[in-house]
């Protein structure tokens, strides 16, 4: 994005053919940025699905550990809230 901003600032002083070339470069950079953001979003979605699947499997394989950890967390949260009030 900083690259695109620099190109936009350049355009204020350009005219004619130079302006057209710079405009093409800006469009190319914006397109590349969109593609990169799209890939990042796809990777994040894939990572989220993998994490959700792993969590689901763990909960089904170790239900008592999850129940115990949840109870301990709720107890500690209750203690913390009781001390604040």
CA dihedral 35, 38, 42, 48 (to 10 degrees): 140
- On the 0-12 / 13-18 / 19+ scale of CB atoms within 10 A, 73 is exposed
- On the 0-12 / 13-18 / 19+ scale of CB atoms within 10 A, 82 is exposed
Residue given tokens 């005219």 in the structure block: 15
Q: Per residue of the chain (85 residues), give pLDDT as tens.
A: 677 777 777 776 767 888 788 778 888 888 888 899 999 999 999 999 999 999 999 999 999 999 999 999 999 999 999 998 6
């Amino acid at each position: 994005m900083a690259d695109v901003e620099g190109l936009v600032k350049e355009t204020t002083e350009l005219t004619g053919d130079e302006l057209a070339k710079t405009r093409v470069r800006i469009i190319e950079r914006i397109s590349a940025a969109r593609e990169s953001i799209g890939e990042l979003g796809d990777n994040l979605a894939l990572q989220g699905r993998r994490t959700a699947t792993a969590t689901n499997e763990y909960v089904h394989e170790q239900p008592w550990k999850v129940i115990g950890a949840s109870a301990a967390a709720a107890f500690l949260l209750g203690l913390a809230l009781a001390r604040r009030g």
